[in-house]
């Protein structure tokens, strides 16, 4: 990923008459292949990857961060979970959130039919779906890594924001 070009993606979201959301994307060099796998709706049999990150003393040189993710079946049964410390030059809450997502994506089984991603970081979800551009270089690199993992997985995926209260299991892993 070090020598890959970073490309800005512009997205326009609209709703059709029946309420279905559609997206049109434009960018100078074409869309990242992972975005072509983005599904409009999750399927019931897909596992759900929930992630969260936290940071004490956010953005200072003494900052410490933690990440956590869990993969659940459709009935809520936890398949796998993991947590750890964030190791980065500058630790922020946003870095911790992206590291949690990246590590959770790396743990996905390549035989899964698709994956539903959910987290309480609006920035991560909107940027992952290419609704928002990524400005910070460290976050842009983490987004590119997540897109590359999703592309290598080669399965459809969805990503949605959930309120912090509904992300309590992933949040508990960061404590």
Collapse the DSSP code of 173 into the 3-class scheme (helix H, G, I; strand E, B; otherwise coil) and give the result.
helix
* Alpha-carbon gap, residue 173 to 40, rounded angstroms: 29
Assess whether pLDDT exceeds 50 at residue 5: no
Q: Could you tell me which residues are beta bridge partners of residue 83?
A: 68
Assess whether pLDDT exceeds 70 at residue 11: no
Q: Where do runs of H (alpha helix) occur along 20-160?
A: 93-106, 122-128, 137-153
Structure confidence at residue 169 (pLDDT): 97
Q: Say which DSSP state 9 is in.
A: -
* Alpha-carbon gap, residue 52 to 93, rounded angstroms: 9
Tens of pLDDT, residue by residue over 65-120, are 999 999 999 899 999 999 999 988 899 999 999 999 999 999 999 899 999 999 99
Quick one: pLDDT band at residue 10, thresholds 50, 70, 90? very low
* Alpha-carbon gap, residue 71 to 65, rounded angstroms: 21
Q: How many helices (H) and strands (E) does the chain have?
A: 4, 7
* Alpha-carbon gap, residue 152 to 102, rounded angstroms: 13
Structure confidence at residue 31 (pLDDT): 80
How many Å separate Cα 19 from the centre of its chain? 25
Residues 122/167, Cβ–Cβ less than 8 Å? no
- Specify the length of the chain in residues: 175
- Residue 15's contacts (CB-CB under 8 Å, 6 or more residues apart) are 21, 22
Quick one: pLDDT band at residue 42, thresholds 50, 70, 90? confident
Per-residue pLDDT, averaged over 51-69, amounts to 95
């Amino acid at each position: 990923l070090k020598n890959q070009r970073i490309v800005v993606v512009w997205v326009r979201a609209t709703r059709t008459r029946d309420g279905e959301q559609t997206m049109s994307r434009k960018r100078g060099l074409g869309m990242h292949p992972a975005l072509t796998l983005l599904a409009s709706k999750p399927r019931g049999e897909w596992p759900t990857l929930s992630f969260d990150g936290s940071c004490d003393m956010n953005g200072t040189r003494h900052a410490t961060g933690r990440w956590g993710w869990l993969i659940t079946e459709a009935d809520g049964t936890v398949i796998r979970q993991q947590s750890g410390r964030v190791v980065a030059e500058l630790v922020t809450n946003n870095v911790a959130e992206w590291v949690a997502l990246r590590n959770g994506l790396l743990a996905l089984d390549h035989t899964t039919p698709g994956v539903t991603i959910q987290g309480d970081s609006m920035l991560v979800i909107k940027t992952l779906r290419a609704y928002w551009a990524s400005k910070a270089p460290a976050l842009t690199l983490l987004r590119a890594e997540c897109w590359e993992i999703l592309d290598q997985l080669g399965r459809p995926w969805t990503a949605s924001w959930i309120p912090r209260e509904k992300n309590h299991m992933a949040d508990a892993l960061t404590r």
